[in-house]
Amino acid sequence: TIWGLPNDAFSIENGIIIDKARRWPLCIDPQGQANKWIKKMEAPQKLRVCKFTDGDYLQRMEGSITFGNPVLVENILEETDPAIEPVLLKQTFKKGNTVMLKLGDSILEYSKDFKLYLTTKFRNPHYLPEVAVKVTLLNFMITIVGLQDQLLNVVVQKERPELAEEKARLVVEGAENKAQLVDTENKILHVLQTSQGNILEDESAINVLSSSKALANKIAAKQEIAEQTE
């Protein structure tokens, strides 16, 4: 994947759940692969990494909540800090048109871009129900397929670094192609929904549909070539 998550179905499913789940993720991550993936993925958004044992972690989290920076709390044990319960439960409220959150004695403006990740190195942690219901619990322990993928990547990077670079480029290109296809499909749906009367007589709608179809065919062809090369 783009940010270094193993390419097996188990890891990809975990990644999708993290993206779509309503509760913040708590990752069982003894090999550290979720940690590395999150750090790479969220680096452009100025990820802040901390531990519950850091003396200033709450102050750093307050800034992230307000300014919309993601936070990774790593190496947690079998309990979370009760101080962040309002964050885990997303206990936000509105003050005028602004979304707010009370954290300890502080009332903070809550940015919609804020994200929270939790990871533990424990292989088999026993979280009490009152912890488990507040998070999305995910197991990122490495699988055989994931290990094979990582070992293959290491070998290729050592023996054929140009192939490793080409694969990384193709992964990024593939993601961009898929995003463009989704945009194209959305444009077509929008035209079909908003067109009035006989669509065959709507010249602008026909032009949009024709250009969208041509773009979709071009992207599909590029994607097929990229998949064969990879």
pLDDT for 158: 77
Tens place of pLDDT per residue across the chain (230 aa):
556 677 677 788 888 899 899 999 999 999 898 999 999 999 999 999 999 999 999 999 999 999 999 999 999 999 999 999 999 999 999 999 999 999 989 999 999 999 999 999 998 899 999 999 999 999 988 766 656 666 666 676 677 777 667 766 666 666 677 777 777 777 777 777 777 777 666 677 777 777 777 777 777 776 676 566 55
Q: Which helix (H) or strand (E) holds 189?
A: helix 161-194
φ, ψ of residue 222 in degrees (nearest 5):
-65, -40
Residue 217: burial class (beta carbons within 10 Å; 0-12, 13-18, 19+): exposed
pLDDT for 12: 81
pLDDT for 31: 87
Q: What is the Cα–Cα distance from 108 to 146, expressed in whole angstroms? A: 40
Who contacts 107 (Cβ-Cβ below 8 Å, separation ≥6)? 100, 101
Output the pTM of the full model: 0.69
pLDDT for 206: 76
Residue 170: burial class (beta carbons within 10 Å; 0-12, 13-18, 19+): middle
Per-residue DSSP letters for 121-177?
--SS----HHHHTTSEEEE-PPPHHHHHHHHHHHHHHHH-HHHHHHHHHHHHHHHHH
